[in-house]
Amino acid sequence: MTMGIMVISFVFMILGMLVQFRLKSKFKQYSAVPTSSRLSGKEVAQKMLKDNGIYDVEVVSVPGFLSDHYDPTKKTVNLSPDVFEGRNVAAAAVAAHECGHAVQHATAYSMLQLRSKLVPVTQISTNLSQWVILAGIGFMGLGGGNQTILLIGIVLFAVSTLFTVVTLPVEFDASARALNWLNTANITTSDEDAKAKDALKWAALTYVVAALSSIAMLAYYIMVYNSRSRD
């Protein structure tokens, strides 16, 4: 049991590190490619919001590297310094992607709404699931464990897994909106479009790895539960 968890965790940890390394490499590569529009990430974001009729979302700079995100509660597009100030393909792609989330919010995109509804319960399930599963298996001083407790832990973990899966279409859609707008708004040329698409692809893969890791772990826990049920 312990070995199985360790193997799955190690495999996806390495895979995640490789994707993160590639993402940082791509961001650095495309940060050296100026856009023909010469707009900064802040200006790109402000223009995309305006073009989509969104006037109640503020574009702000936040500390960190690739710490960019959209905050629906504060209605802010938060851009890292490199993106906020950058006048390059990487900055334009990331800024437009985060604005893609703002557009999703403004248009009540169904998958974003679902993900938002899952946030509170996911926070609870993420904090509790591993401990409940360990207790159910018997790693918490409960002897051979308890099938009911293990099942509760699996259900809690399944909620977290569902969140990672729902996140995928949200991220892919935001990127699609960003790339389409960059092209139609003449922010990037066709050559720059390809580079922006490549940068956002690697960003999306970080979410894919997270989802696959969670699915693999959930499947393993279910197999453990089924094997114990047959005993």
Exactly one of 58, 85, 98, 192 is catalytic; which is it?
A: 98
Confirm if 99 and 185 have CB atoms less than 8 A apart.
no
The partner residues of 34 in beta bridges, in order of sequence, read 88
**Hey, what amino acid is at 49?**
L
Residues 6+ apart with CB under 8 A from 44: 37, 91, 92, 95, 96, 99, 182, 187
H/E stretch holding 79: strand 76-79
Burial of 138 (0-12, 13-18, 19+ CB in 10 A): middle
> Phi/psi class of residue 4: alpha, beta or left (left: φ > 0; alpha: ψ in -120 to 50)?
alpha
> Phi/psi class of residue 63: alpha, beta or left (left: φ > 0; alpha: ψ in -120 to 50)?
beta
171 is known as an active-site residue: no
3-state secondary structure of 166: helix
Q: Please give the positions annotated as active site.
A: 98
